[in-house]
Amino acid sequence: EAGVAQSPRYKIIEKRQSVAFWCNPISGHATLYWYQQILGQGPKLLIQFQNNGVVDDSQLPKDRFSAERLKGVDSTLKIQPAKLEDSAVYLCASSLGIFGYEQYFGPGTRLTVT
Amino acid sequence: DAKTTQPNSMESNEEEPVHLPCNHSTISGTDYIHWYRQLPSQGPEYVIHGLTSNVNNRMASLAIAEDRKSSTLILHRATLRDAAVYYCILNTNAGKSTFGDGTTLTVKP
């Protein structure tokens, strides 16, 4: 079966610009996650969806980050305006459910903010 | 958040077994123990998970202590391709899974 797809794979922007990332989860997976991974650290959960509803967005910087999952399938994560400290890899993952199921990760989008 | 503690780094020789420890002393009765690994420049990859009993799959074995406050991921014969960062996380019934900084495994030929 096809894995989690993400695009773009790489993005370079200047600070204060906006950027959007796209994720297509594995077919049939109800739960979708967005993580931020700064170099040398483990992934940090930004937001978690169950179908098209938000389960956890407690660590999402809501003044600049937004995410949506229309129709409970694809998802987009947006940053506006970007800051230098947003430079990181943004990982999307999906799972069949929120409890007891393994997560499958996409390849990530490497964002560089200059 | 449910917290785990892992050594920062470990080394192994190729074709020898590797035992990666994880402490989770605050685990609650319904939390699952999950292991993932991340190869350089890739997203994390699921390895194995368990609740109370030891688990085996084609990649590894998971040994869970009787009190569930610790677990060990066992790679039976390490290869160079097993060099990665290994994450032990707890999956709670609220759906939370918090990644720490993991253990960086180096495999020497």
3-state secondary structure string across A57-82: CCCCCCCCEEEECHHHCCEEEEECCC
* Chain B residues with beta carbon closer than 8 angstroms to that of A100: 32, 49, 51, 91
Average pLDDT over residues B16-30: 94
Residue for token pair 């677990």: B71
What distance in Å separates residue A104's CA from the closest CA in chain B?
7
Do residues B35 and B73 make contact, with C-beta atoms less than 8 angstroms apart? Answer: yes
pLDDT at A29: 96
User: pLDDT exceeding 90 applies to what percent of chain A?
Assistant: 92
pLDDT above 90 (res B2): no
pLDDT higher than 90, residue B97: no
| Separation in Å, CA of A110 to nearest CA in chain B | 10
Does B100 lie at the interface with A, CB-CB under 8 angstroms? yes
Find the residue in A nearest to B103 (Cα): A42
**Cβ within 8 Å, pair A91-B102:** no
- pLDDT of residue B42 exceeding 70, the answer is yes
Identify the band that residue A19 occupies on the pLDDT scale cut at 50, 70 and 90.
very high
Nearest one of B23, B3, B19 to B61, comparing CA atoms: B19
Would you state the pLDDT for residue B60? 96
Inter-chain residue contact A45 with B98, CB threshold 8 Å: yes
Residues of A in contact with B36 (CB under 8 A): 103
**What span, in angstroms and rounded, lies between the C-alpha atoms of A17 and A32?**
26
Chain B partners of A104 at a C-beta cutoff of 8 Å? Answer: 46
Instruction: Work out the number of other CB atoms within 10 angstroms of the CB of residue A89.
Output: 18
**How confident is the model over A69-87, as a mean pLDDT?**
95
Q: pLDDT by residue (tens digit) across B48-85?
A: 999 999 999 999 999 999 999 999 999 999 999 999 99
Residue B1, pLDDT > 70, answer no
* Residues above pLDDT 70, as percent of chain B: 98
Mean pLDDT of chain B: 94
Neighbours of A84 (CB within 10 A): 10
Mean pLDDT on A7-12: 97
Q: Could you say which residues from 3 to 22 on chain B have a Cβ atom under 8 Å away from some Cβ of chain A?
A: none
> What distance in Å separates residue A7's CA from the closest CA in chain B?
14
Percent of chain A with pLDDT over 70: 99
Provide the pLDDT for residue A52.
87
pLDDT of residue B66: 95
